[in-house]
């Protein structure tokens, strides 16, 4: 079995690649990544020499490249993590999100239509559902919740989801979609909330928190997410959407204070800043379908997962310091420059 994982040098993608390479030595795992700013090959040092792992640099929106790749590799399964994913960046540059998240996805689907595959899995987000009111803790996103996007990022992901389902219905491509809540864990790019707060708190720098910090997110450990996608590939029903959530709702301010307490840093570092436009209030996923159909349950509760995550960032300062000073971008040349 040959599996192409797009975006496999990003945060969630690299964790998934490591999971699959280690669990399935009989499968060939091909990591396809363009290595834009958030793609980091240093995430994959523990598997880069594995005999069932291969890295290819390329752009999923480059039609000729993608079709040539399919012709050469003849993949059985595509797992599409490749995406622009930072909401703030989507507000300042929506076009790049359309190119990667929409056009890149449809290019992959066209290649699947041309060459055939056993499964195309689209990694999506709960943000396609919009948000929930803060005063209704009884409400959750289900797979039947209408799409109601708030940002250019979530709009691009919702559009990609619709194309995936359209290609399934029109062309019979065997697809599945997963929509996850906010991920956390090792190798998360330091622009995202948890690693940003950890790195800045360690440096005793001010910690920017949007608005009043009351926005609620459902936090999912990246390892639980990887196991869930693995299960969907194995047991998921073609043409179905599966929500993946951690049952770990916290306000942004609670998350920040949890990190400060663990690092023994003062709350006086917190600085409330002007809220971003269209900031979603609350995300909360009902993962009943994953649990009842596929037997999945998250293994991490927030408190233990956060302790592990904070410790990982303490133990791997060199990794995120490389990102902060830009050194991580040189790793590709170091590892692959002589092969080009």
Q: Which residues are catalytic?
A: 126-127, 153
Q: How far apart are CA 9 and CA 13, in angstroms?
A: 6
Say how far residue 120 (Cα) sits from the centre of its chain: 16
Q: How far apart are CA 259 and CA 175, in angstroms?
A: 38
- Other CB atoms within a 10 A radius of the CB of residue 333 amount to 10
Nearest alpha-carbon partner for 80 in 65, 53, 61, 95: 61
Q: How far apart are CA 292 and CA 263, in angstroms?
A: 38
Q: How far apart are CA 308 and CA 184, in angstroms?
A: 10
The contacts of residue 172 (CB under 8 Å, 6+ apart) are: none
């Amino acid at each position: 079995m040959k599996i192409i994982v797009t975006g496999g040098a990003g945060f969630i993608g690299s964790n998934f690649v490591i999971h699959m390479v280690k669990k399935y030595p009989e499968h060939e795992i091909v990591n396809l990544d363009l290595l834009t700013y958030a793609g980091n090959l240093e995430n994959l040092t523990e598997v880069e020499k594995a005999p069932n792992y291969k890295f290819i640099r390329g752009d999923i929106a480059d039609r000729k490249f993608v079709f040539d790749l399919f012709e050469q590799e003849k993949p059985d399964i595509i797992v599409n993590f490749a995406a622009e994913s930072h909401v703030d960046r989507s507000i300042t540059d929506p076009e790049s999100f359309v190119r990667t998240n929409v056009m890149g996805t449809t290019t992959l689907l066209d290649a699947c239509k041309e060459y055939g595959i056993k499964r195309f899995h689209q990694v999506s987000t709960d943000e396609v559902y919009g948000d929930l009111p803060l005063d209704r803790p009884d409400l959750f996103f289900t797979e039947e919740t209408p799409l109601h996007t708030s940002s250019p990022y979530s709009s691009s992901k919702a559009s990609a989801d619709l194309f995936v389902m359209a290609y399934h219905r029109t062309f019979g491509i065997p697809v599945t979609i997963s929509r996850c809540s906010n991920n956390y864990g090792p190798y998360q790019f330091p622009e995202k909330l948890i690693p940003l707060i950890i790195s800045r708190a360690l440096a005793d720098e001010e910690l920017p928190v949007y608005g009043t910090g009351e926005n609620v997110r459902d936090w999912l450990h990246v390892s639980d997410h990887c196991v869930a996608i693995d299960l969907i590939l194995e047991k998921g029903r073609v043409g179905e959407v599966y929500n993946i959530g951690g049952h770990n709702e916290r306000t942004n301010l609670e998350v920040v204070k949890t990190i400060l307490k663990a690092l023994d840093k003062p709350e006086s570092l917190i600085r409330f800043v002007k809220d971003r436009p269209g900031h979603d209030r609350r995300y909360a996923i009902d993962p009943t379908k994953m649990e009842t159909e596929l037997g999945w349950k998250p293994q991490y509760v927030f408190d233990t997962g956060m302790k592990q995550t904070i410790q990982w960032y303490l133990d791997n300062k060199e990794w995120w310091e490389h990102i902060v000073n830009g050194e991580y971008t040189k790793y590709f040349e170091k590892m692959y420059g002589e092969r080009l």
